[in-house]
Structure 1
Amino acid sequence: MTAYAVAHMRQATMGPKIVEYLHKIDATLEPFGGRFLVHGSDVEVIENDWQGHLIVIEFPDREHVRGWYNSPAYQAILALRTDNSQSDVVFVDGVEHPHKAIDVLE
């Protein structure tokens, strides 16, 4: 089942370390089939408050997303982001199609 790494980046210091991270992250995704679906585009807030940016990276499954995050290549650049931003990061599975809202009740 498709899985996602989702980040809510509330604040980032746009300096040399974040720029280096951005230059290097794509190569860490490739071996695990990861691809950006959403990456920092403007959000339109229609309910409550939202500060920051949304990042969504798609992977073939949860095993691939964990493999990417724990890989030596990603771990080598992780501090470039975590030392220069405030983010919440979660892994989540997608849904099988067709999916209806009431499916979560089962």
Structure 2
Amino acid sequence: MTAYALAHLMPAEPHPDVAEYLERIQSTLDPFGGRFLVHGAPVDVREGSWPGHLVIIGFPTGADARAWYDSPAYRKILPLRADHIEGDLVIVDGVEPGHDSAEMGRAMRAALQPSRK
């Protein structure tokens, strides 16, 4: 199942270390099948607030995403970004083929019904 690394990065001043991080990150993604899906695009906020930027990287599996994040190559360059840009990064699995949100809603509704004994 496809998995995603999502980063919500706060605004920051340009820094040479961040430029180096950007120059080197793709080579850390390649061995794990990672590719940028969203990177630096403007965020059109429709609800709530969203200070900062969004980065989404797709991976073939959750195991690939976790292996990339934990890899020596990525851990080596991570401080180049993290020391200069605050943010959050999460890894999340995508949905299975055939995912049905209506079925999820029905299951939730059923769980909310009082049980009859």
Quote the Cα distance in structure 1 between the aligned partners of 2:60 and 2:103.
22
Task: Write the letter of the residue equivalent to 1:82.
Answer: A
- Off by >6 Å, runs of 4+ in structure 1: none
Whole-Å separation in 1 of the counterparts to 2:44 and 2:93: 24
Partner of 1:90: 90
TM-score by length of 2: 0.85
* Gapped regions of structure 1 (runs ≥ 5): none
Correspondence for 1:50: 50
Q: How far off its partner does 1:47 sit?
A: 1.0
> Within 2, Cα distance between the matches of 1:51 and 1:103?
34
Q: How far apart, in 2, do the equivalents of 1:32 and 1:102 lie?
A: 33
Q: Does residue 1:70 correspond to 2:31, yes or no? A: no
**Number of equivalenced pairs:** 106
User: What TM-score do you get using the length of structure 1 for normalisation?
Assistant: 0.93
More strand by share: 1
Matched residue, 1:14: 14
Partner of 1:4: 4
What is the Cα deviation at residue 13 of structure 1? 2.9
CA distance in 2, matches of 1:35, 1:51: 24
2:24 aligned residue:
24
Deviation at 1:10, TM superposition (A): 1.4
Structure 2, gaps ≥5 residues long? 109-117
Q: Tell me how far 1:103 sits from its aligned partner.
A: 4.2
SS in 1 for 2:10: strand
Bigger Rg, structure 1 or 2:
2
Map Cα deviations across residues 24-72 of structure 1 (whole Å, 9 max, x no partner).
0000000000000001200111111111111000001111001100111
Residue pair 1:11, 1:87 contacting (<8 A) in 2 also: no
